[in-house]
């Protein structure tokens, strides 16, 4: 989900099953309603594409396979989401590659944070992802040039100048934070 701005759209009844079968562009299914994600900035889009490209290139170069996606529709235990950046393992691609929506959270994903996002909402969303199949969540803070990596057992913080690296999924990937933020 583009964390920048979310607005509820007026729709007829649209169930989670409807979302799973035919996920609408630029919308998530949250608490029984379609929520339109708007307000993506050039900076947000640039970081989203960079991180997806870095993860995807590393998956190929390291021989681990799989691929990276932007705004991949997925299902958590209760919601239909679209993380900003996701990585899917070769096994998940084989199992679910033809589905319109991933029936779980991606194992590695990133949400790019906007200044208006509430901390409680960010951590609740990270927990939601972790409870539904994700093993590693990156919260990317462009304004402060920081990345938080959240797993089931730890939260790690990285700042400008640090080398950020994956903890569980896509092992061996590392990136100097300044490369991500340009």
Q: Give yes or no for residue 28 having a pLDDT over 90.
A: no
- The token pair at 134 is 């994700």
Mean pLDDT over 152-178 rounds to 98
Q: What per-residue confidence (pLDDT) applies to 38?
A: 62
Mean pLDDT over 37-64 rounds to 92
Domain 41-181 has CATH 3.60.15.10: no
Q: What per-residue confidence (pLDDT) applies to 3?
A: 44
User: Residue 86 belongs to what H/E stretch?
Assistant: strand 85-88
Count of CA atoms in the C-beta half-sphere (13 A) of 27: 21
What global pTM score does this model have? 0.87
Task: Give residue limits of the domains in the chain.
Answer: 41-181
Confidence label for 9 from pLDDT (cuts 50, 70 and 90): very low
pLDDT per position as a tens digit, 63-91:
999 999 999 999 999 999 999 999 999 99
pLDDT per position as a tens digit, 130-160:
999 999 999 999 999 999 999 999 999 999 9
- Would strands 108-112 and 136-141 be described as parallel, antiparallel, or unpaired? parallel
């Amino acid at each position: 989900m583009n964390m920048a701005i979310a607005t509820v759209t007026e729709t007829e009844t649209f169930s989670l099953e409807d979302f799973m079968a035919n996920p609408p562009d630029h919308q998530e299914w949250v608490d029984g309603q379609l929520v339109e994600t708007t307000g993506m900035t050039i900076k947000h889009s640039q970081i989203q594409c960079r991180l997806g490209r870095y993860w995807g290139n590393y998956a190929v170069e390291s021989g681990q396979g799989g691929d990276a996606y932007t705004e991949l529709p997925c299902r958590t235990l209760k919601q239909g989401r679209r993380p900003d950046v996701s990585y899917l393992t070769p096994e998940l691609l084989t199992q679910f590659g033809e589905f319109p929506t991933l029936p779980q959270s991606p194992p590695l994903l990133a949400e790019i944070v906007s200044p208006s996002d509430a901390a409680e909402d960010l951590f609740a969303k990270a927990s939601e992802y972790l409870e539904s199949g994700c093993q590693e969540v990156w919260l990317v803070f462009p304004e402060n040039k920081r990345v938080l990596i959240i797993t089931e057992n730890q939260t790690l913080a990285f700042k400008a100048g640090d080398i950020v690296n994956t903890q569980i999924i896509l092992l061996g990937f590392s990136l100097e934070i300044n490369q991500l933020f340009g």
